[in-house]
Each structure stands twice: as C-alpha cells, then as structure tokens.
C-alpha cells in the first residue's frame, strides 16, 4: 500500500423535511428532479398525527410481527431505461385504454421489462423529464401491448384524474417511490418508499387516485395510506446504509401503492446492493410502524404539491430547529481541509440573532463527546464544541439558516460520527440534528 488515506464522508441526516429536488435526481438524468422539493413524495410526516386505524390496519397486514421484505437485490427489482429525444417512440395498445395515456412511448425492443407477473417497464426521457410507465408490458414483436400506461412530468405536481389507474393500482407513479442504490450510497433518501399489502379497502386517499380493494372494509388500509417508522425504533446494530433507509422510513415513510405481499417494498435492480443491507432490512417488524393521517398536507386534491408548513411541521414555542439539507459528500486526502455547509430551518418561535448572547445559534458538535475534534478534525471552528454560527445575521421563525465550516481529514483510519445540531450559546441544545459518518480507509 502507498500509505495514502481516503476520507469518505457519508452524510446521514436525521429528522429531515423535504430537500431541494436536485437531491433526488439520478446520475443518469441529473437535470430531472424526481418531483419538486415541495411535492408530497418529499414531504416529512414525522409530526403528522397517528391515524386512529393504525393498529387495525397493521393487524390486517400480517400483524405487528410481520417483517419487512426488501423486494430487490441481486437480479431482482425494478429497472429504468433512460432515453432521450432521439429514442424511437411507438403507440401501445392498452387493455385499460380508457384510463391510460394514449401517447407515443419510448418503448423499444431493448426496454427492460420486469420478469415478474406485473411486467412493469419504466422509461425516463432525460431531456423532457417525462417518466413513462407501463403495466403488463410486452414488445410483442414490434406491436407493443400493455395493461395500462401513464406518463408523468417530473417537474410538475400533476396527479392522474381521480379514479384513474396508472401502471400501479393506486394510480401513482412507481419510480419515484423506488429505493435506488445511488441515493442510499450517497447517504440520503429524500422521498417516501412504495410498498404493497395483500388486501386493501375499496377506497383511496390522497395522493392516490385509484383503488383495487378486496372488500369495502374500513379495517383494511386504503390505497395511498402512509406509514412511518416510529421515532423510538433503535438504529443500534444496523449498518450505515441500512440506517439511511431507516431514516427515510421515519421522515417520509411508506406509501401503500399496490396489492401484493404484505410489507414488500421495492428497489432498483443493482448488483451493488449488499447482502448485509438486504438482511438487516428484513429484521424490521411491521409493529415498528404506525399509520399517519397526512391529509393536512393536501392543498389541491388534483395536485401533489404540499404547503410550506410541510417543511417545518408548524412552529413550536421556544428554540427549535429542523434539518433541511447538507453539502455533497467529500472525498479527502490526509490532512486536507475542505468546506461543509449544513442548513436548518428555525422551527421555533424565537429569532436567532448572530452576535447576541443567548440568541446566537451555533452548530454544536457531538454533545459531550469531543473525540473527533481531538483527532485533528478541527479547522477554522469556533471553539471546542461549537463549530460554526449562522451566515445570516438573523434567522426568523420559519426561515432557513446556513452554517458553513471547514473540516480537516484525520490521519487515523476508522469510522467516526459527528452529531451536529444548533445550540443557543451553550445553553439550549435543540432537538434536531444532522449525523455525519466519517470513514477513513487506508
């Protein structure tokens, strides 16, 4: 070995509300957000009230002891074909033509089709940012057919007409709710995750547009029902990548989108999924979840846009913060100094004022654990456990504050954790925090 160290900073952010849409864009289509930041797919549901039917629905979805099942890994999962304006298009004959978008689809002989019975096909035009989805797709020797088809403009909030299906029983797009390796690897999944239940009610709730229920039975969950991982679920014993997924399940939750095996959730086809991640996700019980009432997020029944309050979940009396976003991940050489930024919104009723004792919000480090600092990571920090103050002179309730600071890569191999959250001059530590995993690899 050449003795060179590389520091990979894996950023994991706790309690994060919607982040800017470009965070959800894929490397293959960087100009296409997977819906805008203020879309329901990116809305934070941690402060939403528990749905009174929560326990009943979970009981009828296999019971609290039922374990999650990641329906991907190895050759399994959903596969997206990224196309452009030069890709040939063709008309598709639909079984459910009355509820399908009758437009030319960039569906070709080379388009991947899910080998399972649903036969889904997904195509994204990287130029127009139109997402095309097909159910029960068949190339059929150049005369393509499908059960249904839907087109979604990923730069807009438009929903399907009420009562219309899509390539999914809930009438929702599928790909925005699919877990992707690139987002897990970067340390941030910023959207709700699609999942299935065996039996559903013959109803749907916003943002779903369609039902395919087994019975008119309120004890069964409706399409569009949203579940979150409870805040008290312990992350100890789970690897960093698994914790990224668990955090998304706490912040953005799961959306019931189709009939299928209970608590199966979908991911992309990617050989890089680790056996550890898959096996650890299978340890999470359904009883660790609760259904929420997210109806207050709806501004328009025909739109997926959510109000600004979905970012802060309302203001709380006193000093409070809500994590918003942080800088891209760093790859650093030993001793290198590089800049970070992290953004919190002021979700309390008190104004943060830089330079005024008792009102100045600094970014606190690790509580009483100063080990990372003592290993030589400090660079232009304020003092031992306060590494930055706000860049703006004042941050009013509801506004977003940015903290900028520098970090120096340590020279000792290992895995380090930085817990960062605003603190008012060492007297009031706010409850929200961003978590950074720093991995030094020889």
Query: What's the average model confidence in pLDDT over 172-184?
Result: 95
Please state, for a pLDDT cut of 90, what percent of the chain lies above it. Answer: 57
What pLDDT is stored for residue 421 in this prediction?
85
Of the pLDDT bands very low, low, confident and very high (cuts 50, 70, 90), residue 237 is confident
What pLDDT is stored for residue 76 in this prediction?
92
pLDDT tens per residue across span 34-80: 999 889 999 989 889 999 999 999 999 999 999 999 999 988 999 99
**Listed residue (235, 230, 244) closest to 273, CA to CA:** 244
Rounded Cα distance between 13 and 248, Å, is: 9
Between residues 441 and 99, the one the model is more confident about: 99
Rounded Cα distance between 188 and 435, Å, is: 11
Residue appearing with tokens 């312990």: 234
What pLDDT is stored for residue 236 in this prediction?
82
Q: List Cβ<8 Å contacts ≥24 apart for 231-235.
A: 231/46, 233/284, 233/288
Kindly report the pTM of this predicted structure.
0.74
Of the pLDDT bands very low, low, confident and very high (cuts 50, 70, 90), residue 21 is very low
**Listed residue (187, 204, 176) closest to 266, CA to CA:** 176
Burial (CB count <10 Å: 0-12, 13-18, 19+), residue 108: middle
Residues 187/417, Cβ–Cβ less than 8 Å: no
Query: What's the average model confidence in pLDDT over 275-304?
Result: 97
Rounded Cα distance between 48 and 317, Å, is: 18
CA 180 to chain centroid: 10
Rounded Cα distance between 419 and 433, Å, is: 6
pLDDT tens per residue across span 318-376: 898 888 777 766 677 777 888 888 888 888 889 999 999 899 998 887 665 666 666 66
What pLDDT is stored for residue 227 in this prediction?
98
Rounded Cα distance between 273 and 304, Å, is: 30
Residues 179/69, Cβ–Cβ less than 8 Å: no
Residues 5/274, Cβ–Cβ less than 8 Å: no
- Roughly how many angstroms between the first and final C-alpha of the chain, as a whole number? 8
> Which range, 1-5, 204-208, 236-240, 421-425, is most confident?
204-208
What pLDDT is stored for residue 338 in this prediction?
81
Which has the minimum average pLDDT: 274-278, 386-390, 393-397? 386-390
Rounded Cα distance between 178 and 76, Å, is: 13
Domains, the chain: 6-15+311-441 (2.60.40.10), 23-304 (no CATH)
Residues 347/321, Cβ–Cβ less than 8 Å: yes
Question: Does the structure show a pLDDT above 60 at 18?
Answer: no
> Which range, 9-18, 170-179, 180-189, 409-418, is most confident?
170-179
Rounded Cα distance between 326 and 309, Å, is: 20
What pLDDT is stored for residue 64 in this prediction?
98
Which has the minimum average pLDDT: 47-51, 253-257, 260-264, 307-311? 307-311
Residues 223/200, Cβ–Cβ less than 8 Å: yes
Mean pLDDT of the chain: 86
What pLDDT is stored for residue 14 in this prediction?
31
pLDDT tens per residue across span 191-204: 999 999 999 999 99
**Three-state secondary structure readout of the chain:** CCCCCEEEEEEEECCCCCCCHHHHCECCECCCCCCCCCEHHHCCCCCCCECCCHHHHHHCCCCCCCECEEECEECECECEEEECCCCCCECCEECCHHHCCCCCECCCCCCCCCCCCCCCEEEEECCCCEEEEEECCECHHHCCEECEEEEEECCCCECCCCCCCCCCCCCCCCHHHCECHHHHHHCCCCCCEEEEECCCECCECCCCCCCCCCECCCCCCCECCEEEECCCCCCCCCCHHHHHHHHHHHHCCEEEEEECCCCEEEEECECCCCHHHHHHHCCCEHHHEEEECCHHHCCCCCECECCCHHHHCCCECCCCEEEEEECCCCEECCCCEEEEEEEEEECECCCEECCCCCCCEEEEECCCCCHHHHHHHEECCCECCEEEEECCCEECCCCEEEEEEEEECCCCCEEEEEEEEEEECCCEECCCCEEEEEEEEC
């Amino acid at each position: 070995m050449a003795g060179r160290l590389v520091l990979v900073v894996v950023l994991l952010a706790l309690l994060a509300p919607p982040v800017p849409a470009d965070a959800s864009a894929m490397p293959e289509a960087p100009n296409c957000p997977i819906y805008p930041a203020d879309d329901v797919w990116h809305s934070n549901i941690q402060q939403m009230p528990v749905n009174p039917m929560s326990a009943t629905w979970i009981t009828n979805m296999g019971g609290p002891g039922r374990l999650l099942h990641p329906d991907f890994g190895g050759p399994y999962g959903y596969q997206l074909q990224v196309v452009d304006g030069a890709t040939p298009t063709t008309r598709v004959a639909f079984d459910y033509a009355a509820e399908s978008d009758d437009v030319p689809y960039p569906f070709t002989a080379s388009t991947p089709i899910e080998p399972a019975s649903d036969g889904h096909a997904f195509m994204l035009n990287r130029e127009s940012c139109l997402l095309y989805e097909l159910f029960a797709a068949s190339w059929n020797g150049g005369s393509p057919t499908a059960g249904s088809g839907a087109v979604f403009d990923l730069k807009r909030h438009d929903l399907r007409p009420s009562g219309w299906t899509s390539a999914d029983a809930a009438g929702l797009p599928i790909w925005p709710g699919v877990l992707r390796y690139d987002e897990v690897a970067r340390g941030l999944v910023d959207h709700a995750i699609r999942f299935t239940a065996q039996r559903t009610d013959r109803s749907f709730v916003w943002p779903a547009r369609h039902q395919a229920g087994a019975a008119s039975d309120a004890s069964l969950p409706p399409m569009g029902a949203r579940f979150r991982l409870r805040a008290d679920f312990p992350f100890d014993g789970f690897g960093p990548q698994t914790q990224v997924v668990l955090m998304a399940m706490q912040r953005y939750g799961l959306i019931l989108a189709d009939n299928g095996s209970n608590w199966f959730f979908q991911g992309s086809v990617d050989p890089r999924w680790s056996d550890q991640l898959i096996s650890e996700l299978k340890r999470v019980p359904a009883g660790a979840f609760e259904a929420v009432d997210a109806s207050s997020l709806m501004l328009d029944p025909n739109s997926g846009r959510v109000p600004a309050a979905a970012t802060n979940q309302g203001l709380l009396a006193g000093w409070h913060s809500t994590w918003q976003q942080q800088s891209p991940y760093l790859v650093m050489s030993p001793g290198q100094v590089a800049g970070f930024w992290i953004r919190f919104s002021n979700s309390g009723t008190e104004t943060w004022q830089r330079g005024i004792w008792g009102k100045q919000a600094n970014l606190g480090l690790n509580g009483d654990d100063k080990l990372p600092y003592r290993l030589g990571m400090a660079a232009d920090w304020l003092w031992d456990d306060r590494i930055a103050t706000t860049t703006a002179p004042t941050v009013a309730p509801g506004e977003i504050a940015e903290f900028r600071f520098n970090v120096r890569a340590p020279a000792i191999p290992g895995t380090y954790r930085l817990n960062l959250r605003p603190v008012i001059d060492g007297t009031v530590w706010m409850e929200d925090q961003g978590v950074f995993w720093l991995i030094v690899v020889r």
